[in-house]
Structure 1
Amino acid sequence: MEKKLLGNTKLETAPIIFGGNVFGWTANEKESFELMDQFLDMGFNMIDSADVYSRWAKGNSGGESESIIGKYMKARGNRHKLTIATKVGSSMQQGGDKNISKTHILKAVEDSLRRLQTDHIDLYFTHWDDDKTPVEETLEAYQKLIDQGKVRYIGASNLSPERLKASLEASKTEGLPKYEVFQPEYSLMVRDKFEGDIQEICKKNNLGVTSYFSLASGFLTGKYDNLEGIKGTEREQFLKEYFNDRGKKVLKALKDISDHHNISQAGIALRWIIQRPGVTAPIASTTKPDHFKSFKEAISFELTSEEMTMLNNASS
């Protein structure tokens, strides 16, 4: 399978990255092992996690995703086959304060390394900005971790254009590590968090881009027909804003193209991201092995310019 370099790093990723947020949440340990086995067997190689995943599940406190990945790599002896990305900065408590201070990062990385049962993290992301820590302080923490060999490269997620530019400028002027990858929310339903200023900054600085919520929390699969069907479920908070005229147009365009190619709507939605300017690879999750079908579909065909226009117009 063809791999892509992430920005200016030496890290390579297959065209789709597995979202490890499901490990320990909607997939238990045994299921997670099976999913990772199949993912690797298909030729994919990169898993994205965070220190707070999967705090949402009842009885969890955060770190469960990293722990499962760590147990998996130890059991299979395959750390060398995987590119592991994880994140720091979110709170282990829902609604808690974000923290990207040097003190917090240096402590949090040790916890992540212990859970992952590895001596290094390939790509370490600033998960969320706390909007108060000087960008230089955050980058100084990463410098120490890179010097110690605990982190290979760094990335940023969910930063404002202003803070991302300030961070990149500090890297140049202060000789500090540079964010090499940016991770925005990006899908047919959410385009403004990447397109525009962030996209231009990434292009100008040759940043790799790995998009999350690529299937809009499952909305783009076409599985959820209406809001009533998900009332009272955990999906409601993620999908409720999509059941509008724009959402209907997007789903119709996906279905039309899906029917024409006999390919799933999820495969079409992922392929759209793969073909968008500036994107290195979308992140996608699944909890069932048969859902990997959409991964295979997305990398095995190409949308025509007319089909891309149809999707662009429906989602604009």
Structure 2
Amino acid sequence: MLLNLASVLLTSVGVLLNKFALGHLSPLQAAFLNAGFAAAFCVVPFTYLAARSGGMPRIASFRPLIIVAGLANAVALLLLFILLDIAGPITVGFLGRLYIVFAVLIGVVWFRERHTALEYFLILLSVIGGGLFTLPDESLGGTGFAIALSYCLLFAVSNALSKQALRPGAAPGSAGRSSVTAVYSILIANNLLAAALLAGALVATRGAGGFGFDPSGAAFVAGSSLVGSVIGIYLFYQGLRFISFSRANLVRSVQPLFVAAASFPFFPVHLGPTMAAGALLMIVSVVWLAALSARKESDVAPRNPPGK
């Protein structure tokens, strides 16, 4: 579990670094650099893991699943940086937990997963909590909440498509790869596509001048991509050697608390009664939902007979 806690801590620091970057870059520039750096940095662990397993480094082919995932990732990244530009990292950290709502709903619609009435009730509570958390903030209001819902939905769609691409037989030539190597392969292809799409948006809106990046802003985004997209993900999957996927996601569900701890000295937030109630409602419902998922996974896991 320590590896997964370290992963959550690093990705929380990444949110803070992205906020610093927006003092020097536009949201579109930051989103482009984030995708580009993430793809570049993932090449190192991908090549290392592929070589260690005796396979040839080979990035996932740009099939329709990967293309749509890259498009969803590009728009989600842009919306995330727009939200981070108008709100603090603590606010974004809490609203980002709405991702699990869409992940569960996509699991029902797409992967035919089944959930209880309690789980649906917790999803509703988390959405209500998100509304309570954002509406009193005049800089966010309904627009900010809509942006948060949209970027969480698009990230969930992108990840679901990537999950589908990782299924056995979904990726030609992927047989024999380790699961972590395959994940990095998808991440590289996904972020390369997102970077290309965001580069096109930069050219369309700002011309060649859109690529005049402030060095300080670029450095902050590079640091965020390194700790979040490379080291954080690597630690997350290494942690799966010791705990289940659902329990790992249970650890990740408390990420807003880590973001708040890292960000408060730089971007303090005054929580009024309504915002505090919304934040508490979101955290409790999301952690409870993740705990139920972990328990269901434990119930269906095969058990060895005594003495085995």
Q: Which has the higher contact order (CA 8 A, sep 6+)?
A: 2
Q: Of Structure 1 and Structure 2, which has the larger fraction of its residues in strand?
A: 1
Shorter chain as denominator, the TM-score bin is under 0.3
TM-score by length of 1: 0.24
TM-score by length of 2: 0.25
Q: Of Structure 1 and Structure 2, which has the larger fraction of its residues in helix?
A: 2
